[in-house]
Structure 1
Amino acid sequence: MISRVVPRWSIRPLAGFAAAWFAALAVGGALAAENYPPVKLPDMTGKGRNIQRAMRLLAESTPEKRNNVRILFYGQSITEQGWTRLVTEDLKARFPHANLVVENLALAGYASQLLSRTVETDVVPFQPDLLIFHVYGAHDKYEDILRMVRERTTAEILQQNDHVTKTEHLTEEMDPGKVPIQSGNWDSFMNHNWLPALSRKYGTEFCDQRAIWKQYLADNRLEPKALLRDNVHLNAHGEYLMAECVKAYLRYDPKLGPSPAEGWVTAGQPVRRGDSLKLEFEGTAVEVPIQGASNLTAEKLRIDGLPVTEIPTLRGFTRALAWPGGKWKGPVKWPAIAPIRSQTPLLLEDWTLEVKRADAEEDPKKMKFTFTLIGSKTGPDGSGRSDQRFVSNSGRVVIEPESWGIPYALMLAQVKPVPETLTIQWKAEPRYLEKVGLQTISEVHAPSWIWLVQGLPHGKHTLEITQDASSIGELRVHRPPLTPAK
């Protein structure tokens, strides 16, 4: 199994997140389940229907055919907690022959208002088969996240609602008609009106862990605080319960029939001529078995008659991370700027902003910065201020004033005070296969499929592999279910 778990974060107004998060991280907790009462699950008939493609790939994996399954945990500090490791280990134990590629890219302190800005750098390049998702925050930005995932990926989504944190949640109003947004009952509105409605609209699998949580508390005569470290974060008992809730939905049941995602990922039917290959398809991405792609390089790939190296949409930015310097030896994981756009084609290069404080302001919300921009290939590309829209000389970097988040990112990383100068760095990376490394192929549990291209505009395309395609037995085409609005 390939498993890389990178931390993430939780709830409420942004300024209040940091103290609770630091306290939560300071408290350790065993993840063993044997000391906790077992979870009595409700009738799970029909549950898991909308994630059956990912579960089928797991269940059908054998020593001879190890299916790739890419799983991404995404959200805030709740998603950074130990329950995600319990879920990962459970999947590894239940499906030992699958190639599990697991990432946790959650960002502590990032409510939906901020997390919606990072989908482009986090979720889209990873192209998960399964997204396990939870976030607090503005309801409309929550929907923006689901919509972007549906427009840019073929991921199945396990959408968690909120766990129980207050005694009054146990008797809350659950009739969606009685908790419109105007009701003032935010928790009931989100969990019993808005989130279920979004699940139906976007075809997610709705993990109603809130209902399981209430029943567990009642069955074991527990108060909500018995499962919490503070007013929202889970203790070890709570981590156990949340893992059990999620695991209950991660089930393969052939009686449920194929999920919608089976129609979003289809087998390509290429035309062969010697050791070349041509595929006409409709979609945004194409996968290839890694064993058949061992000799492929970007120079042998064309889309719509153009080399992939010349197609602007097949390049994208990574997270823009701050390097505070001084005692801080590495970058802060929270984006210092998000999103960063472009209005002219990108080069594959490293970008650096040298940033200076522009005033002596102590209020993080009012801080201003000046900067100069340099691209490793573009060279010096302009200068600007954080309170003004910036378009670089080349047009390859566009930053809006609302995209700046240096003080908040440094606060979450406990970098104090905000330094007078710092560096922000990011990359423009390829969204196409450059070359398959020999080490990747030789790994026992190496990915069985890799991306040829991803990030194409929605529509019909022609893929050509001009050499070394004779050993490629099949291709997979990905067509996201929603088309972005123009």
Structure 2
Amino acid sequence: MKHLLLTLLLPFILFAQEKRNLTTDEPRAPKGKPDGAADYIAKAEPHDGQHLALTIHKLENGLTPVRPFLIWAIGSSYTNMLGNGEAWKVEIPQRFPKAPPIEYKKMVGNSCPWQYARGWLRHLVIPEQPDLVITYTNGNPADLEKLIVEVRQHTTADIIVPSLHWRERDQELWGKSENAMDQDVAAVREVCRKHAVEFIESRRDWAAYLTANKLPVSSLLKDAVHQSDYGAKIINSNILAHLRRPEAFSYKPESRERRITAPAAKDGIIKLSFTGNRIDLIGQKSPTGGSARVWIDGKPADQLDAFLMSYVQPNTKNHKEGKGATPRDQSPHAVTLGKNVVPQSWTLIMTSDTGDYDLTGSVTGPDGKGNAFKPFTSTSGQILVEPELWRRAERNRTGDRFIWDVRRACVGEISFKGAASETFVVRLAQSLPNTKHTLKLVPTGEGSIAGFDVFEPPMK
């Protein structure tokens, strides 16, 4: 019950976290457009938008049945400074009259690089299957590549990666290099090119604006490192400028997402084959209500080895070290599922100040002892803890606690009960192997099935 309550309260917890201080730098007064400077106008090149085929298709044509276009942003306080999607919610309806409503979610942390943002991707983003993922932070390009690969293997989402803005710490590179002190721009650009990710040349265009208006680097900053309000507007403008039809897209939308008309039932059973890792049903409800049992690959869907994990929630009373520190910045950002997985709640408790911990499952019980600085596989083999995804473990103290849930990613039965002719969408399965599958539905009672949406991530 406690874990269920935390799951229900998680959106409110994350919202509260976003409101807290996300930097150890003392902010200066918010800045608007620098005095005497021209308005910033983002410009698009002929190829800009080439890796956003699904995004443009959805914005131009809308989504049926209607649902929000879901954006997830993950990263550091730089990501946080971009806001909560306000720019999207203003501009998208003006440019795309048929666009669905915009839903913008984010998870951010103090100076959180790609290495740790990958953990939030796994636990928060992938379960929600967004339409678009944005990450605006720094880190090792190899870690960015790992993040991109995980998105590409488990979702059909487009990805946007802007280069970092200029900061006071980069001043010595001005006029000498496109790089930041903590970002090899060419390497990041190459990772994005390799994986057909939309790369935003924000740093280049930011520098051009400063040069054209004879402005110092500090003029678009609110402190030594963070973009000012007008700086954030520039970055958002650069991103939104890529929402366009380019000379050519790098892929076809139907290669990743496609709708299949429901086949006729034979002997009361509906069968179809599909290729992908996720399938949604589109149907119509009935006041009297029927139901349908769901089978995939010859097994009841709710017995398949397909699982999702909730956010690794640190206890609010966990030790915090350093100015502006929050428990989520001193915690395992992700764990990995192993073998013989059983849906349940997991609790990890630190037993020393040097990284030792106990792991316990609500069903499995005590499942081993580990150390945050060493690879760990639980006794049952269900949970793997990787040191590279545990942030600032040296700051954890005895008694620090972390919890998360493992749940099934497929449903065994759906209901058609509801208002007459009300259209609904239900996710039958996700986290399947990205291969060919056979779906079988055994309906009883009233209710109709219009079709299915199939999702095939671009990487196996």
Which residue of structure 2 lines up, in the alignment, with residue 233 of structure 1? 226
User: 1:217-262 CA distances to partner (integer Å, 9 max, x unpaired)?
Assistant: 12322111111123321121211211211121123x3875684443
Percent identical pairs in the alignment equals: 21
Q: After superposition, where does 1:191-210 map in structure 2 within 5 Å? A: 191=185, 193-210=186-203
Whole-angstrom distance in 2 between the partners of 1:325 and 1:394: 29
Whole-angstrom distance in 2 between the partners of 1:319 and 1:326: 16
Kept in 1: contact 2:285–2:448 (CA 8 A): yes
Which residue of structure 2 lines up, in the alignment, with residue 135 of structure 1? 137
Shift in Å, 1:92: 5.6
Shift in Å, 1:315: 0.8
3-state SS of paired residue (2:459): coil
User: Given the superposition, is the C-alpha separation of residues 195 and 420 from structure 1 closer, same or farther in structure 2, using an over 3 Å criterion?
Assistant: closer
User: 1:69-101 CA distances to partner (integer Å, 9 max, x unpaired)?
Assistant: 221112222111144433332256435761433
Greater percentage in helix = 1
User: 1:160-195 CA distances to partner (integer Å, 9 max, x unpaired)?
Assistant: 112122345542346xxxxxxxxxx6659822x222
User: Given the superposition, is the C-alpha separation of residues 44 and 436 from structure 1 closer, same or farther in structure 2, using an over 3 Å criterion?
Assistant: farther
Q: Which runs of 5+ in 1 are unaligned?
A: 10-17, 175-184, 360-366, 412-417
Which residue of structure 2 lines up, in the alignment, with residue 424 of structure 1? 402
Kept in 2: contact 1:287–1:450 (CA 8 A): yes
User: Given the superposition, is the C-alpha separation of residues 261 and 293 from structure 1 closer, same or farther in structure 2, using an over 3 Å criterion?
Assistant: farther
Kept in 2: contact 1:57–1:68 (CA 8 A): no
User: Given the superposition, is the C-alpha separation of residues 238 and 91 from structure 1 closer, same or farther in structure 2, using an over 3 Å criterion?
Assistant: same
3-state SS of paired residue (1:272): coil
Q: After superposition, where does 1:23-62 map in structure 2 within 5 Å? A: 23=25, 29=30, 37-61=38-62
Whole-angstrom distance in 1 between the partners of 2:273 and 2:381: 33
User: Given the superposition, is the C-alpha separation of residues 19 and 67 from structure 1 closer, same or farther in structure 2, using an over 3 Å criterion?
Assistant: closer
User: 1:395-421 CA distances to partner (integer Å, 9 max, x unpaired)?
Assistant: 22233455544647xx7xxxxxx5531
Shift in Å, 1:139: 1.8
Whole-angstrom distance in 1 between the partners of 2:330 and 2:262: 41
Kept in 2: contact 1:374–1:381 (CA 8 A): yes
Kept in 2: contact 1:7–1:104 (CA 8 A): no
Kept in 2: contact 1:321–1:335 (CA 8 A): no
3-state SS of paired residue (1:89): helix
Q: After superposition, where does 1:119-198 map in structure 2 within 5 Å? A: 119-165=121-167, 166-173=170-177, 190-191=184-185, 193-198=186-191
| 2:335 aligned residue (340, 356, 359) | 340
Kept in 2: contact 1:283–1:460 (CA 8 A): yes
TM-score (norm 1): 0.76
Kept in 1: contact 2:49–2:198 (CA 8 A): yes
User: Given the superposition, is the C-alpha separation of residues 476 and 470 from structure 1 closer, same or farther in structure 2, using an over 3 Å criterion?
Assistant: same
3-state SS of paired residue (1:110): coil
Matched, 1:355 2:350: yes
Give the letter for the 1:216 counterpart. Answer: Y
Shift in Å, 1:272: 2.9
User: Given the superposition, is the C-alpha separation of residues 288 and 19 from structure 1 closer, same or farther in structure 2, using an over 3 Å criterion?
Assistant: closer
Shift in Å, 1:35: 10
Shift in Å, 1:456: 0.8
Q: Which runs of 5+ in 2 are unaligned?
A: 1-10, 321-325
Matched, 1:320 2:312: yes
Over the residues paired in the alignment, what is the CA RMSD in angstroms?
A: 4.0
Which residue of structure 2 lines up, in the alignment, with residue 392 of structure 1? 378
Which residue of structure 1 lines up, in the alignment, with residue 7 of structure 2? none
Which residue of structure 1 lines up, in the alignment, with residue 429 of structure 2? 453
Which residue of structure 1 lines up, in the alignment, with residue 449 of structure 2? 472
Matched, 1:302 2:277: no
Which residue of structure 2 lines up, in the alignment, with residue 180 of structure 1? none
Q: How many residues align?
A: 434
Whole-angstrom distance in 2 between the partners of 1:430 and 1:7: 28
User: Given the superposition, is the C-alpha separation of residues 35 and 102 from structure 1 closer, same or farther in structure 2, using an over 3 Å criterion?
Assistant: farther
User: 1:451-474 CA distances to partner (integer Å, 9 max, x unpaired)?
Assistant: 221111121111122226952212
